[in-house]
Amino acid sequence: MLFTTFAERHGMQKVRLNILGLSVSQTQSGAYALVLTEENGDRRIPIIIGPVEAQAIAIQLEGLKPPRPLTHDLFKNLASVFEIKIEEVIIYKLEEGIFYSELICTSGEKHVRIDSRTSDAVALALRFKCPIYTSEEILQKAGIVLEDEQGFGIGKEKEHKRPPRETEYKNYTIAELNELLKEAITNEDYERASTIRDEITRRKK
């Protein structure tokens, strides 16, 4: 039987997405907005996700190394041992405000589709360094064009970056900041680690 993805079975026109970033949700308390952007366009897709999934995505974007594997890291390690790869992630359906995704996996000559929450799929895509796709139909339904504070469209050059900001760590030396960063990661305080990493990055510019 010929392997086909959901996109191929339904004649979807696939559009590649990149991760623009994460922000605190303005509509749901305790939730976060994951913003995906089409690779060759200005449309963005905001997806509401939980704090655990947001953390799993954020530490990969920030390049942080947790002292113990998180759930998605464990999945990646287990898959690697059994030579399973995620080739791509496809966000294939939007229904009642919920995005549906599937993982396209390979193991040798075997191809498998695995249903997944979109937040988990994105967290895994980062770890497997695989592309993320959606359909033109979903982009037409959920895509928006964001503008920054100056009124200009947010371009691809700003992906994975947050604007520099003054923090409580501005009076620390680089050596002290690196020690604080190690301590935050050891304590699994990734939000604090992210803030310290921002300060270190700002100093290096």
Domain range list for the chain: 6-161, 164-205
Residues whose CB is less than 8 angstroms from the CB of residue 194 and which lie 6 or more positions away in sequence, other chains included: 58, 59, 62, 64
d(CA 177, CA 167): 12
Quick check: 30 and 48 in contact, CB under 8 A? Answer: no
CATH architecture of the region 6-161: Roll (3.10)
| CA 95 from centroid of its chain's CA atoms | 21
d(CA 190, CA 195): 9
Report phi then psi at 170, rounded to 5.
-65, -20
d(CA 85, CA 187): 31
Residues whose CB is less than 8 angstroms from the CB of residue 40 and which lie 6 or more positions away in sequence, other chains included: 16
d(CA 71, CA 81): 16
Question: What is the pLDDT tens value at each position of the chain, 205 positions in all?
Answer: 445 655 565 567 899 999 998 888 766 777 888 999 999 888 999 999 998 899 899 999 888 888 888 899 999 999 999 999 999 999 999 998 899 999 999 999 899 999 999 999 999 999 999 999 999 999 998 988 865 533 333 333 333 444 444 557 778 888 888 888 888 777 767 667 777 877 777 777 6
Query: How many Cβ atoms are within 10 Å of 27's Cβ, its own excluded?
Result: 8
> What pLDDT score was predicted for residue 7?
56
> What pLDDT score was predicted for residue 152?
31
d(CA 143, CA 44): 5
Report phi then psi at 130, rounded to 5.
-110, 160
d(CA 159, CA 173): 28
Q: Closest by alpha carbon to 194, among 157, 159, 154, 165?
A: 165
